[in-house]
Chains A and B, each alone.
Chain A
């Protein structure tokens, strides 16, 4: 079956540090890949997505590139801020209709001033 694996947290960084959160997936075919962010006490918000190999999703300074050869979709940001503290979920969707959505376990990020 489909699955998503993320690096275990929590991740604690100082402000302006470089961030990488690893994500790898197992799926048949060519899934779409997503990063969602959940701020404390809130629901999930779509951060970025990529729908095919070599696509790069980007938003709010975050980037992730769909690497089919390594089945990865690592999240990066060059300079994190305190406001980036949240839980980040990697996810995949197996079809074009939002069905079969599979989430990773989430990685908690804490950014210290």
Chain B
């Protein structure tokens, strides 16, 4: 299989604090990981693309200083929401691509962030 996990599955935090979300590929090495944001009853919006060992590429309109992405190993990428505010409350989903010559992404179960 190709399993991607996320931790935590849900988190509630106070406004102004930072939250780290982990994305792991459990049974394969992920050369590329993607971070998405999903608003209620809406589709996924790509936030950034992360290649192992290099800086993430952010989509237009996504603040790279607010959403810090680290892809330090072939099985782990982290998204840190810095100085979170209520408008950052959302469902964050990561996905991973196995190998280079494939267009299939395997998705994690998502992390629901609620900022009070």
Contact = CB atoms under 8 A, between A and B. Distances in A.
Interface of A: 32, 34, 36, 42-46, 49, 51, 89, 93, 95-99, 101, 103-106, 108
A91 to B, nearest CB: 9
Contacts of B77: none
B44 A103 contact: yes
Contact of A45 (B42, B43, B101, B107): B107
A99 B34 CA distance: 9
A43 B110 contact: yes
B104 A98 contact: yes
Given A42-B109, A43-B108, A43-B109, A98 B103 contact: yes
B89 interface: no
Interface of B: 4, 6, 32, 34, 41-44, 46, 49, 93, 95, 97, 100-110
Contacts of A96: 101-103
A89 B36 CA distance: 14
Contacts of B32: 97-98
Q: Is the interface of B mostly helix, strand, loop or mixed?
A: strand
Contacts of A98: 32, 34, 97, 102-105
Most chain A beta carbons < 10 A, residue from B42, B43, B49, B100:
B43
Nearest to B6: A43
A88 B62 CA distance: 26
B106 A103 contact: no
Contacts of A51: 103
Nearest to A94: B103
Contact of A42 (B97, B103, B104, B110): B110
Contacts of B95: 44
B44 A44 contact: yes
A24 B4 CA distance: 29
